Chains A and B, each alone.
Chain A
Amino acid sequence: MKYWIWVAWLAVVVSIFSYYSWRLFATEEKSDFLIGETSYGHYQIEMSCDSCHTSAFGGTEVLQDACENCHAADLEMAHDSHPTKKFTDPRNADRLEVVDARYCVSCHTEHQHEQTREMGVTLPDDYCYHCHEDIAEDRESHKDLPFDSCASAGCHNFHDNRALYENFLIDNANQPWLLEIANLEVPNAANKTIKENAVSLGLADADFTKAKKVNVTETVLNDWAHSSHAAAGVNCMGCHQGEDKEWIEKPGHEQCGSCHANEVQTFTEGKHGMRLSTVLSKPLKPMSPSESHMKFTETGQQSHQNCVACHQSHTFDRVFAATEACLDCHADEHSLAFLDSPHGQLWQANKSDKETAAEQVSCATCHMPRMVKGKGEKQIVSVNHNQNFNLKPNEKMIRSVCMDCHGLGFAINAIADEALIKNNFNGQPGVEIESIDWALKREE
């Protein structure tokens, strides 16, 4: 009798152990192991535990390496005002006892949902006090300001202050609310990959002989023949043929990346494509609105975020991708208000006119800004497909997009006005940030 009890016990233990090992190592579904809900920034990849917890042993240092693995380049680009290297000098030992600013997780503790606030910060909002408690001695204007208002008033950010620092405020003070409308650079990054001897192709050049299913409809062929792909000499085989020369029924972002490398790279850095990032220990299945915390349309719920989710396959219409594609899924207040907003009205009236298209504001104009590198013939203009690039904190938008057409003062006020953001900038800001006035006063 006793013998059987031991066998049964062993069987139960082995089964439980095997089940959890299978869950941990062999499946994407690891929610049993989550020690707490993850933040807005990371919930999409919370099932890729070992992307952050790269080693079972080692503490903060290991996590810090993981943070930097994804975020270091962004911080560098943001001219981070508080890089970790500012705090590694021993003279900061007493400060580090209060907030150990050498490590991201000291302020951004993950799996602490109930304590996590804007920007994934888990410290109380008056954290600036610990090092800048005597700021009023230098800045009369700051005398009665509460320390939890430093970063919430459109004035300061801990990391990115490129649009907010004093000299910049002074240099761009007294600008009218509306400047001359910018004529944005036309993206040319993919053009640079077109082969020198490429010629524009027509229906007869499609070449889908390797297709396994004969489902190449006339619509598909016509869509392609009118696309920029056909004009650039890229036929069916250009996208549907893998490295092994086999036909790929549904080419993924890897195929797109062979010509649109920068677009795919930035796409996998943002909320749309982060699950496909090569930085993860292994890529996850693409994100779907149904798994998001945000508001989406009923029809958009089941889509999956890959390149063709917005750039419909075969037509690859950039005008569609710039707004209609977004509104197919996004149904929050800001998105729904776009078409009735001044930006949206102008977009609808002029979007089909190629002459003025570069002056119109679509969703993508602000959320997927154009990146310009180099000068003259070497200049490369690409669209940053990381929709989060300038979104959090939203003051990042001031320089990267708002100031293309608007004065700094207007932009700071607008971006600090939550009601105005909700109605998609339909009206003038009801908030007035005094930072420019204070900076000018100190100049006198």
Chain B
Amino acid sequence: MKLVQTLIISASLALLLSSCGEEKAGGIEPSVYTDSLFAVMKADRTNYTKLIVARLGPKGADAIYPVEHWKDVENGAPLPAQMFRAGSEAVRDLTDKFTYTLQSEWPINKQNAPSTPMEEEGLKFIAANPGENFYGTEKLGDKSYFTAVYPDVAVAEACVSCHNDHKDTPRSDFKIGDVMGGVVIRVPL
């Protein structure tokens, strides 16, 4: 009898404890989170390119002059890709809850080429499947990440001409509307 009692109590305790873990996790899906982040990034990036840099033109105005070595030029301002990268670096000083980078299979600076297997897979996927995003999980160091890759599309003539004509570019046939690279967003799991 005592054995039956013990078994019943143990079974109910086990049931009680196991049910604790079954509660559905709250919060938003990682992909919704990264999609939302990307929407903001894309909006800002497009706006900076079209509303500021494209309007100033390569010669700029008296007040501001977009140029690659902008720090070294009086009135120099960062190019759209550099502005985006500056944002990415500034975010890293503010939070470690997510990171993002701008990469390309055809980078002007080789350090911005994909460096992890998932980055390579993601960048190839978005180039081959226009309009689609790429999602996956990967382990870097001892941490796991949800990794999303979004297409970075040439939105203005300045993007295309600058990349096609740069002496360090590995590709010189970009057209407006082409996927020139990708935004990689990572969320630690």
Q: Which residues of A line the B interface, CB within 8 A?
A: 79, 83, 85-86, 88-94, 96-97, 131, 134, 138, 162, 165, 167-168, 442-443
A-B contact pairs, 27 of them (CB 8 A): A85-B93, A86-B89, A88-B92, A88-B96, A88-B99, A89-B99, A89-B101, A90-B99, A90-B140, A90-B141, A90-B143, A90-B145, A90-B186, A91-B101, A91-B119, A91-B140, A91-B184, A94-B140, A94-B141, A96-B141, A97-B141, A131-B111, A134-B110, A162-B72, A167-B69, A168-B69, A442-B167
- Which residues in A have their C-beta under 8 angstroms from that of B71? 79
Tell me the dominant secondary structure on chain B's binding face.
mixed
Neighbouring A residues of B6 by C-beta, 8 Å: none
Q: Give, as a whole number of angstroms, the nearest-CB distance from B158 to chain A.
A: 19
Q: Which residues of B contact A443 (CB under 8 A)?
A: 167
Do A168 and B72 contact each other (CB < 8 Å), given the known contacts A89-B99, A91-B115, A442-B167? yes
Is B116 located at the chain interface by the 8 A CB criterion? yes
Of residues 64 through 109 on chain B, the ones whose CB sits less than 8 Å from some CB of chain A are 68-69, 71-72, 88-89, 92-93, 96, 99, 101
B residues contacting A by CB (< 8 A) are: 68-69, 71-72, 88-89, 92-93, 96, 99, 101, 110-111, 115-116, 119, 140-141, 143, 145, 167-168, 184, 186, 188
B residues in contact with A83, CB < 8 Å: 89
Cα-based distance from A131 to B112 in the complex (angstroms): 12
Chain A residues contacting B168 (CB-CB under 8 Å) are 138
Query: When the two chains form their complex, are residues B141 and A138 in contact, meaning their CB atoms are under 8 A apart?
Result: no
A167 touches B68 (CB 8 A): yes
Cα-based distance from A97 to B140 in the complex (angstroms): 11
Q: Distance (Å) between the CB of A156 and the closest chain B CB?
A: 15
Instruction: Tell me which residues across on chain A come within 8 A of B93, comparing CB atoms.
Output: 85
In the docked arrangement, what's the CA distance between A94 and B119, Å?
14
Starting from the known contacts A85-B93, A90-B140, 5 additional A-B residue pairs (CB-CB under 8 Å) come to A79-B72, A86-B89, A91-B184, A138-B110, A167-B68
What residues of chain A lie closer than 8 Å to B96, measured between beta carbons?
A: 88
Cβ-closest chain A residue relative to B186: A90
Q: Are A89 and B72 in contact (CB under 8 A)?
A: no
Which A residues are in CB contact (< 8 Å) with B119? 91
Chain B CB within 10 A, most for which of A89, A91, A162 = A91
For the complex formed, measure the closest distance between the CB of B84 and the CB atoms of chain A, giving whole angstroms. 14
| A97 CB contacts on chain B under 8 angstroms | 141
Q: Which of B71, B96, B140 has the most CB of A within 10 A?
A: B140
CB neighbours of A85 from chain B (8 A): 89, 92-93
Whether the Cβ atoms of B89 and A93 lie closer than 8 Å is no
**A92 CB, min distance to chain B CBs, angstroms:** 8
Asked if B141 and A93 sit within 8 Å, CB to CB, the answer is: yes
Note all chain A residues with C-beta closer than 8 A to B140: 90-91, 93-94
Q: Nearest B residue to A85 by beta-carbon distance?
A: B89
**Which chain B positions have C-beta within 8 A of A93?**
140-141, 143
**A254 smallest CB distance to B (angstroms):** 34
The interface residues of chain B lying within 8 Å CB-to-CB of A162 are 72
Residues of B within 8 A of A165 (CB): 69
A138 to B111, CA, bound (A): 12
State whether A89 touches B141 (Cβ < 8 A). Answer: no
Q: List 8 A-B pairs, minimum CB-CB distance, nearest first.
A: A93-B141, A93-B140, A85-B89, A90-B140, A88-B92, A79-B71, A89-B99, A85-B92
Determine the chain B residues whose CB is within 8 A of the CB of A131 once the complex forms.
Answer: 111
- With both beta carbons as reference points, the residue of chain B lying nearest to A83 in the complex is identified as B89
**Cβ of A67 to closest chain B Cβ, rounded Å:** 16
Closest Cβ of chain A: how far from B69's Cβ, in Å?
5
Which residue of chain B has the shortest Cβ distance to A88 in the bound complex? B92
| Chain A residues closer than 8 Å to B141, beta-carbon distance | 90, 93-94, 96-97
CB-nearest residue of chain B to A165? B69
Residues in A whose Cβ lies below 8 Å from that of B167: 442-443
**B contact residues around A138 at 8 Å (CB):** 110, 168
Taking the nearest CB of chain A, how far is it from the CB of B178, in angstroms? 23
Q: Which residues of chain A come closer than 8 Å to B143, judged between CB atoms? A: 90, 93
- Report the bound CA distance from A44 to B20 in whole Å: 60
- Please give me the residue from chain A that is nearest to B67 by CB atom: A167
A399 CB, nearest partner CB in chain B, Å: 10
State A131–B111 Cα separation when bound (angstroms): 9
With A and B bound together, what is the CA distance between A401 and B143 in angstroms? 48
Name the residue on B nearest A443 (C-beta): B167
A40 nearest CB across to chain B (Å): 29
CB distance from B128 to the nearest CB of A (A): 22
CA distance A443 to B165 in the complex (A): 12
Q: What is the bound-complex CA distance between A131 and B113, given in angstroms?
A: 13
Report chain B residues within 8 Å CB of A91: 101, 115-116, 119, 140, 184, 186
Contacts of A79 in B (CB 8 A): 71-72
CA distance A359 to B144 in the complex (A): 62
The CA-CA distance from A170 to B119 in the complex, in Å, is 35
How far does the alpha carbon of A94 sit from the alpha carbon of B68 in the complex, in Å? 29
Residue of A nearest to B86 (CB): A85
Which chain A residue lies CB-closest to B168? A138
